[in-house]
Amino acid sequence: MGVFKRLKKIERTSKSGHKYTFSEGKMSFPDPLDLPSRTMLTSESSVNRSSHIVYDKDLNKNRKITEIEAELLQMFPANWTNTGMTRRQRYFMMGNALVTGVISKLEGKLKQVIKDE
């Protein structure tokens, strides 16, 4: 999995024949637990470049985050999507979700800024 997270530069050619370089920056592997999380995508259920992989001390190995961990990262209650959806649907929902909890935490300060203007 770590190989997916490396710096990537690929020369490509457009339909019109123009050559360009497609690039993606390097990503941490595994994801650091002491830093804010990266953006979660709807493809979280699959194993790809954007998958959140953490080192699990109890298992002594790297693993994908669980559906509940995805919910908590997005500031939803644990098991919020456990309503008969498949695992894939639960990850998709979290990748598609807005993290409204951040705005809720900022609401009081934002109101004051607007009021003071």
CB 78 within 8 A of CB 72: yes
Which of helix, strand or coil describes residue 96? helix
Residue among 8, 14, 116, 1 at smallest CA distance from 62: 1
Identify the pLDDT of residue 1. 59
Q: What is the pLDDT of residues 41-55, one digit of tens each?
A: 999 998 888 899 999
Distance in angstroms (rounded) separating the CA atoms of residues 81 and 67: 8
Domain ranges of the chain: 2-116
Q: What is the pLDDT of residues 8-29, one digit of tens each?
A: 899 999 999 999 999 988 888 9
Identify the pLDDT of residue 60. 97
For residue 6, name the pLDDT band (cuts at 50, 70, 90).
Answer: confident
Distance of CA 23 to the CA centre of its chain: 19
Q: Which two tokens stand for residue 49?
A: 């470049």
